[in-house]
Structure formats: C-alpha cells, structure tokens
Structure 1
Amino acid sequence: MSDRNRQDSSAAYGYFAFVGTEPILVNPQENIRFNQHGSLKNIRFSTNRSTIKVLKSGDYKIEYTLLIDGPASTSVYGIFLGDSSEPENLTKFGITRQVNNATLMLIGQAIIHVSKKSTIELRNIGTTTDTLLPVLGGQGINAASLSIVKLS
C-alpha cells in the first residue's frame, strides 16, 4: 500500500454549523444542535439528534466559534466527549458582555485524545441562556461552527 493510501485511510475530519433565520436560544446545560455539515471523513453526523460521532481513535484538534448576543452576562461553553468534559478545564472557554446588546464571538480550541465511537458535544455550561445570531447585516451566517481534524 502506498504512503498516500495509508494516510488517506487514517484521516478523519468534519465541519459542522448551526444556521437559521432567527436568533437561536441555548439554555444552560444544553448542547449546541448543529444542523448543517460540510465534508466528513470517518466521522458520522445525525441531523435528527445533532450527534457527532468519531469513528477512529486518535488525537484531534477541535475548534469552535459562537456568535453570542444579548444582555450583559457571562457565557461559558465546553467540549464534551459523551457526558464528560475532557480533559477537565482544558476545553472550557467563556466571555463576558459588560454592556447590554453587545455581540461577541466566543472561540475555543483544544487538542485531545478521542476514542473510537466517542460522541462530541459542545455545551452551554454557564448559568445563562445565550442568544446565537445567524443573521448579521441582512446576511445569513453561521451562528455556531465546530471543526474536528485527526492529527495522529
């Protein structure tokens, strides 16, 4: 088998987005329910349950972006493997809006080991309901996105 074929068979990646036409509310302890996806390789996605399942074990780089609007408050999100924050505190990120109606972008990333058949979730672990914005300046945009790429 050539090096190219060997490398292609172990590749795994996926891109997910949350789009809509109205502001989207995310309650405390609620997962982001991605409703669109781009290219997928060795990753499954169910739009019915918004489930991201990794089919190959390895070290993965996971990145996400959320466009959050609303009253002054704090927003905190974490990457979960199944029901566990993994690894503890290394996948949790937050922002604080100090004025009402501030729109901020929350970006988080981590490199973590993911076991075969694990599910990945992005969850609001804060105490406030957040408003994600899928439309700015009359243009539809991603209110949330998540990408995952297998590194090894």
Structure 2
Amino acid sequence: MAEQHWSSSSQAYGYVTLIGSEPIQVKPGENIRFNQHGSLENIRFSQSSGALTVLESGDYKIEYTLLIGGPASTSVYGIFVEHSLVDKNLTNYGITRQVDNATLMMVGQAIFHIHKNSKIRLKNIGPTTDTLLPVLNGTGINAASLSIVKLS
C-alpha cells in the first residue's frame, strides 16, 4: 500500500481588544487602534498601529465586536487586508442608533483567504465619527475586540 503524505498546517489564532478609561472617538476612515492582546499564535500584533499580521497563509474566520454609543447616527465597519477592503462586502457590517445616547453592540464575522504576512485592520467605513465605550456603569469593558482563527 502506498504511503500517504499529508501536508501539515500550522495553527494560527489571535485575540486583540481596545480598552480605556474614557470614550474613544473613531473618525470616518480611521482604523480601530486595538491596544491589548490575548493569546497569539502565528499572528503578530503591533500596538502602535493596532494591526495584526498573519504569519501563515490560509482560510481564516474573523469576528469583531464594537460597543458604540453617542448621538443618533449610522455606524459601518469593514476589515481591510493590507490597504484594501475585503472584496464583495464580506466583512461590512453596520448599525443605526435612532435615539441619542443609545448604546448598541455591532458584531461582524467572515471567513476568507489571507496570504502570509498580510496586515489586518478594522476600519470605520461609515460617514460619521463613532464613540466606542470602554466603561459602563463604572466598570471597564472591551470597547472593541477582534478574534482571528485559521481554519485551514
């Protein structure tokens, strides 16, 4: 019987978050500047830019969460690989606050192929400045988070 050789794929995963003590403003066209990280495996995190670098090519699942408050408006976010928005609106999600000071959680997810050494960023692609909330009722929370897991 012929011997089979299976290609092995390295694990890759990461988790980053944005914490603070005051509301965080994110202008249109601005990246989320994640400032803390949890476990990282074959993912590099740059605290200065808030970007993640994928060290292994493959199909990845990315999930992100934002806690947005402030005046009534529409918020829209998308994932950028290098300097391009992921194609076909796969990562674009939005919410509308119809009442001032409403606090809403935006959740987005997608699965797509990412090439080795690509930088990943989450960016405000909407028309308004958003207020991310790192504190609720005096308790520190994640104003934003992003997790990435290599599937294959």
* Aligned position for 1:102: 102
Residues 99 and 53 of structure 1: CA distance in aligned 2, closer, same or farther (over 3 Å) = same
* CA distance in structure 2 between the partners assigned to 1:128 and 1:92 by the alignment: 15
Tell me the secondary structure at the aligned position of residue 88 of structure 1. helix
Cα distance in 1 for partners of 2:116, 2:81 equals 11
Deviations 1:54-103 (A, max 9, x none): 00000000000000001110000001101111122111000000111100
Normalising by the residue count of structure 2, what TM-score does the alignment of the two structures yield?
A: 0.93
Structure 1 length normalisation: TM-score? 0.93
Moved over 2 A (4+): 6-9
Question: Residues 25 and 110 (structure 1 numbering): CA distance in 2 closer, same or farther, change over 3 Å?
Answer: same
Contact 1:58-1:113 at 8 Å conserved across structures: yes
Q: Corresponding residue for 2:34? A: 34
* Larger Rg computed on CA atoms: 2
Percent identical residues:
70
Letter in 2 for 1:72: A
* Residue of structure 1 equivalent to 2:139: 139
In the aligned structure 1, how far is the partner of 2:49 from the partner of 2:86?
A: 21
After superposition, residues 116-135 of structure 1 pair within 5 angstroms as 116-135=116-135
Q: Where does the alignment leave 5 or more consecutive residues of structure 1 unmatched?
A: 1-5
Q: Which moved more, 1:79-88 or 1:132-141?
A: 79-88
- The residue aligned with 2:72 is 72
Give the conservation status (yes or no) of the 8 Å contact 1:87–1:112.
no
Q: Which amino acid aligns with 1:108?
A: G
| 1:14, distance to aligned residue in structure 2 (A) | 0.2
Q: Count residues in correspondence.
A: 147
* Distance of 1:89 and 1:125 partners within structure 2: 11
Q: State the shift of 1:7 in Å.
A: 9.5
RMSD: 1.4
- Residue in 2 that maps onto 1:53: 53
Q: How far, CA to CA, are the matches of 2:16 and 2:8 in structure 1? A: 21
The AA in structure 1 aligned to 2:44 is R
1:17-74 deviation digits (Å, cap 9, x = unpaired): 0000000000000000000000000000111222210000000000000000011100
